[in-house]
Amino acid sequence: MKISARNQIAGTVLSVTKGATTSHVKLKLTGGETITASITNEAVDELGLKEGMKATAIVKASDVMIGVG
Amino acid sequence: MKISARNQIAGTVLSVTKGATTSHVKLKLTGGETITASITNEAVDELGLKEGMKATAIVKASDVMIGVG
Amino acid sequence: MKISARNQIAGTVLSVTKGATTSHVKLKLTGGETITASITNEAVDELGLKEGMKATAIVKASDVMIGVG
Amino acid sequence: MKISARNQIAGTVLSVTKGATTSHVKLKLTGGETITASITNEAVDELGLKEGMKATAIVKASDVMIGVG
Amino acid sequence: MKISARNQIAGTVLSVTKGATTSHVKLKLTGGETITASITNEAVDELGLKEGMKATAIVKASDVMIGVG
Amino acid sequence: MKISARNQIAGTVLSVTKGATTSHVKLKLTGGETITASITNEAVDELGLKEGMKATAIVKASDVMIGVG
């Protein structure tokens, strides 16, 4: 499926930390940065997310802020 | 100011496209990826955003989705 | 690509209204409801969105509120 | 209260899963689709959300993405 | 309608600035602060938003970040 | 760091409620209103958030809805 979100950045799963309903998934981006996603445990299970897997960080443009200085 | 958003990624402004009220700002991240932010024209003016400027892409973890395959 | 967003609802494009940088896309869901998305003009062009096309409305669970009464 | 969010879709509560601070609420929409919301436990208690209750899924247009193919 | 969003803050409309598809609405909160909302022109028209009107700023808890220093 | 988010409102931490991965932080705004943020436990620890601390509630304009009546 091709999606409208402007930001789709390739990476590798560094870690998956499951909470009661919400998981934190850290990806290492190809460029070396780390990005953290907060998604449902259900999604983690459905996607079978595990350390070392190839994955894409997806962010809508309207959810990105800019900082300077 | 130190902020709670988990994702703060350094980059350089590639382009600023102003609409009637909303601007699209593209950053080249240090790792080479491009990220697009949709912010208000007011914010662009206040931050004085211009091509070539150092800037940080800021995204809350709860706004990041994960894709696989 | 399989994505973590919990809400992926099939529909058909009813209309695409382009602004200076932001477009409003209305989908008729299979169940008959209408859903409105605010996405970038760039995304509309890249996805080639036109009236009558099959498309999916995608929403992260953390972006859904509940109302009662 | 009348609100600006473009998407307000009627449904019935299918399930409420409480975590430590965050709950996942699934609604069956009138059209038959299921939608998942991630809201605070506090909100679940305040709205008295229970299986079988009539409820509305509320989503801002800027939080809806579009997928094709 | 009672909604799950944790943040519902009373105020008065200071200004409405319409773009091609998106409007910026500024509210003066009872406490004196100003808050800016980016909503669709359609919503502005439907709610009949005008300077001086009583209105409520509504924000989901998952969309609020915290800054210190 | 100066950021693009239009809404940056000063307040004081009222309470911090930690879940398994997600915390709810309530601030009392200078104007007397209370605002709730849902952020990661990691962010709470990194910012050292405690009751009584000065802190700022940060919200992107595109995450603010308006209600009337």
| Residue among C66, C2, C57, C50 nearest C31 (CA) | C57
E13-62 pLDDT, tens digit each: 999 999 999 999 999 998 899 999 999 999 999 999 999 999 999 999 99
In whole numbers, what is the pLDDT of chain B averaged over residues? 96
Per-residue pLDDT tens digits for F11-59: 999 999 999 999 999 999 988 999 999 999 999 999 999 999 999 999 9
Q: What is the pLDDT of residue A30?
A: 86
* DSSP3 helix / strand / coil % (chain D, rounded to 5): 15, 55, 30
Q: Which residue of F has its CA nearest to D58?
A: F65
Quick: pLDDT tens for C1-54: 999 999 999 999 999 999 999 999 999 998 899 999 999 999 999 999 999 999
Q: Are F59 and F39 in contact (CB under 8 A)?
A: no
Q: How many CB pairs under 8 A join A and F?
A: 41
User: Can you tell me the distance from the alpha carbon of B55 to that of B49, in angstroms, rounded to the nearest whole number?
Assistant: 8
Q: Within 13 A of F59's CA, how many CA atoms are on the CB side? A: 27
* Residue pointed to by tokens 């990806």: A27
Minimum Cα–Cα distance from D49: chain E residue: E4
Chain D: nearest CA to E57, how far in angstroms?
10
Q: Tell me the C-alpha to C-alpha distance, in Å, between residue F46 and each of C15, E66, F49.
A: 45, 11, 8
- The closest alpha carbon to F65, from E16, A57, C8, D5, belongs to D5
Best probe of the A interface among D24, D35, D44, D59, by most A CBs < 10 A, is D24
Q: Which residues between 12 and 51 in chain A have a beta carbon less than 8 angstroms from any beta carbon of chain D?
A: 19-22, 40, 42
B with C: how many residue pairs have Cβ under 8 Å apart? 42
Pairing of strands F7-18, F22-29: antiparallel
pLDDT band at A31 (very low <50, low <70, confident <90, very high): confident
Closest CA to C5 of A30, A46, A20, E66: A46
Residues 6+ apart with CB under 8 A from A59: A5, A6, A7, A9, B35, B59, B63, B64, B65
Q: Taking the alpha carbons of F9, D44, A26, A7 in that order, is the dihedral positive or negative?
A: negative
Per-residue confidence (pLDDT) for residue E30, from 0 to 100: 86
| Residue E11 clears pLDDT 90, i.e. is over it | yes
Would the CB atoms of F67 and D42 count as touching at under 8 Å? no
CB contact under 8 A, D61 and C24: yes
ipTM for this model: 0.95
pLDDT in tens, D13-53: 999 999 999 999 999 998 899 999 999 999 999 999 999 99
Q: What is the set of domains in chain C, with CATH numbers?
A: 7-60 (2.40.50.100)
Distance CA D54, CA A46 (A): 28
Encoded tokens for A55: 């994955």
Binary contact (B22, E23; C-beta < 8 A)? no
Spell out the residues 6+ positions from residue E63 whose beta carbon is closer than 8 angstroms to its own: B60, B62, F59, F60, F63
Query: What are the backbone dihedrals phi and psi of residue C4, each rounded to the nearest 5 degrees, phi first?
Result: -75, -20
Chains that contact F by 3+ CB pairs under 8 Å?
A: A, B, D, E
Question: Cβ of A1 and C3 within 8 Å?
Answer: yes
Look at residues F21, F22, F18, F8 and name the one whose alpha carbon lies nearest to residue F55.
F8
State the smallest CA–CA distance between residue D62 and chain F in angstroms: 7
Across B7-53, the runs of DSSP E, i.e. the strands, are 7-18, 22-29, 34-40
Q: CA of B63, closest CA in chain E: separation in Å? A: 9
Evaluate if residue B30 carries a pLDDT over 90.
no
> Burial, B31: exposed, middle or buried (Cβ in 10 Å; 0-12, 13-18, 19+)?
middle
Q: Which two tokens stand for residue C40?
A: 């970038």
pLDDT (tens digit per residue) in A4-13 = 999 999 999 9
User: In this complex, is the C-beta atom of A64 within 8 Å of any C-beta atom belonging to chain D?
Assistant: no
Over residues B44-52, the mean pLDDT reads: 98
Mean pLDDT of all residues in chain A? 96
- All residues of chain C having their beta carbon less than 8 Å from the beta carbon of residue E65 are none
Confidence of residue B31 (pLDDT cuts 50, 70, 90): confident
For A14, B62, C13, D31, the CA distances from C31, given in Å and listed in that order, are 39, 28, 14, 3
Contact residues, chain E, for C19 at CB < 8 Å:
19-22
Q: Residues D63-67: what's their mean pLDDT? A: 98
> Chains contacting A with at least 3 CB pairs below 8 Å?
B, C, D, F
Q: What is the pLDDT of residue F30?
A: 86
Is the Cβ–Cβ distance between D37 and C66 less than 8 Å? yes
| Chain D neighbors of A4, CB-CB under 8 A | 65-67
For residues E68, F4, F9, F11, the Cα torsion angle rounded to the nearest 10 degrees is -10
Helix residue ranges, H only, F1-69: 41-47
Pick from F2, F4, F20: CB nearest A19: F20
Give me Rg for the CA atoms of chain E.
13
Chain D residues close to E45, C-beta within 8 Å: none
A7 burial (CB, 10 Å; 0-12 / 13-18 / 19+) is: buried
Task: Check pLDDT > 90 for residue C56.
Answer: yes
Element (H, E) at E45: helix E41-47
Tally: H helices and E strands in chain D: 1, 6
